[in-house]
Amino acid sequence: MSETSARLLSLLSLLQARRDWPGSLLAERLEVSARTVRRDVDRLRDLGYPVRAIKGPDGGYRLDAGAELPPLLFDDDQAIAVAVALQTATTTVAGIEEGALRALATVRQVMPARLRQRVDALQVTTIDRYAARRTTVNSDQLIAIGMAVRANEVLRFDYATPGAPEGEWLPPRKVEPHHLVTWGGRWYLIAWDLDRQDWRTFRVDRMTPKTPTGPRFTPRELPAPDVAAYVAKQFKSTEQYPFRGEAILQTPASDVAPWAGRDTVVEEVSPTSCRVIMSAWSWIGLAATFGMYECDLELIGPPELIEAARQLANRYQEGIS
């Protein structure tokens, strides 16, 4: 690989790692002059990468989203994560099977041999713990609802009400959509029902969104500290264990939801993290359950859960010879 090409890849990797980069800092990290950085930025633009100059004392650069998807640059861990995620992407969202398989083939094709061997060794078979009650949702349907949530736009939809006489016409529901959540293998929309003037929870697989969406609105406050607490109250199970706690897991909600119990709430915090509320037979048991997920985590509380985690950590530490 030529020195210029290698430097372009390094520059692209840096631009993907954070939102804004001062030009002087990029030059320092790449060990080149500011003039060379400007030339390399122009080369990336010629290749289709939307690199925008930003104003400031020293000036700088930002990699924006573009109209087209240029080639992406993944490090080894990111490439492995993408490949595994694509293998398990169709668990609860229908209509993306072909796209996921084509994306997996594309990622695998451009991988170096060392990574391709690791991916081929990670052939994942998804065993659906909630197959009896799990329902899949259409990807277009999920995106339409998610966009209304993000834009704070009134959503109209037909809703398949259980027990309603077949063929009976029902007027569309009109809601202020608040949040999409997964619980027990299903997708739900939390929303303020404009006709009933109250909060409601709708199963996404029973919704048929209508276009266009309605006017924008100012989001209301949930009658709970947060979405996770609200959902926990709505779906409170008679089988719920008495000791209940909360944690932030540094892994996507889609990776946690398939393995969550019936009374467990999984709320997306970001594309790479989620809030989880669950219960167990004891504080020690709850701390151990949170620790079973192979990711970094932050225990939120209550204090008894955090103390139990300390006790468990000490117990393991003393048991290591």
Give pLDDT tens digits for 202-236: 888 888 898 888 889 999 998 888 887 787 777 66
> Of 161, 139, 147, whose CA–CA distance to 211 is shortest?
147
Which two tokens mark 77? 């861990």
Output DSSP code: residue 165.
Answer: P
Q: What are phi and psi of 320, to 5 degrees?
A: -90, 120
Domain ranges in the chain with CATH number 2.30.30: 137-210
Q: What's the whole-number mean pLDDT along residues 281-288? A: 87
**Residue spans in the chain of domains classed CATH 1.10.10.10:** 3-63
Q: pLDDT tens, 83-115? A: 767 766 655 555 556 666 667 776 776 677 777
pLDDT digits (tens, 9 = 90+) for 11-28: 877 777 677 888 888 888
The predicted structure's pLDDT at residue 116: 73
Task: Answer yes or no: is pLDDT of 156 > 90.
Answer: yes
* CA separation for the pair 194, 70 (Å, rounded): 42
CATH 2.40.50.140 given to domain 3-63? no
What was the pLDDT predicted at 266? Answer: 83
The residue with greater pLDDT, 283 or 263, is 283
Residue 66 pLDDT grade (very low, low, confident, very high; cuts 50, 70, 90): low
- DSSP of 86-151: HHTTTSSEET-HHHHHHHHHHHHHTS-HHHHHHHHT-------TTTTT---EEHHHHHHHHHHHHH
Round to whole Å and give the CA distance between 104 and 85. 9
| The CATH number of the domain covering residues in 137-210 | 2.30.30
Q: State the pairing for strand pair 186-193/173-183.
A: antiparallel
Q: What is the mean pLDDT of the chain?
A: 77
pLDDT band at 122 (very low <50, low <70, confident <90, very high): low
Residue 155: per-residue pLDDT: 93
pLDDT of residue 236: 62
Residue 154 has pLDDT above 90, yes or no: yes
Asked if 153 contacts 142 with a C-beta cutoff of 8 angstroms, the reply is no
Does pLDDT of 140 surpass 60? yes
| Confidence tier at 129 by pLDDT (50, 70, 90) | very low
Q: Which two tokens stand for residue 192?
A: 């303020």
Give the model's pLDDT for residue 130: 47
pLDDT at res. 127? 43
Q: Which range has the worst mean pLDDT, 176-180, 234-238, 313-317?
A: 234-238
Alpha helices in 224-282 (DSSP H): 227-234, 253-256
Report CA Rg, the chain: 24
pLDDT at 14: 79
Grade residue 82 by pLDDT with cuts at 50, 70 and 90.
Answer: confident
DSSP one-letter code for 235: T
Contacts of 103 (CB under 8 A, 6+ apart): 86
Q: What is the pTM of this model?
A: 0.46
Instruction: For residue 67, name the pLDDT band (cuts at 50, 70, 90).
Output: very low
Residue 240 has pLDDT above 90, yes or no: no
Where would I find the H helices in the chain?
A: 3-17, 23-30, 34-46, 76-87, 97-109, 113-120, 139-151, 227-234, 253-256, 283-291, 303-319
Indicate if the pLDDT at residue 201 is higher than 60. Answer: yes
Q: Residue 1: its pLDDT value, please?
A: 42
pLDDT in tens, 49-61: 788 888 766 678 8
Where would I find the beta strands (DSSP E) of 132-211? 137-138, 155-159, 173-183, 186-193, 198-203, 207-210
In this prediction, residue 175 carries a pLDDT of 94
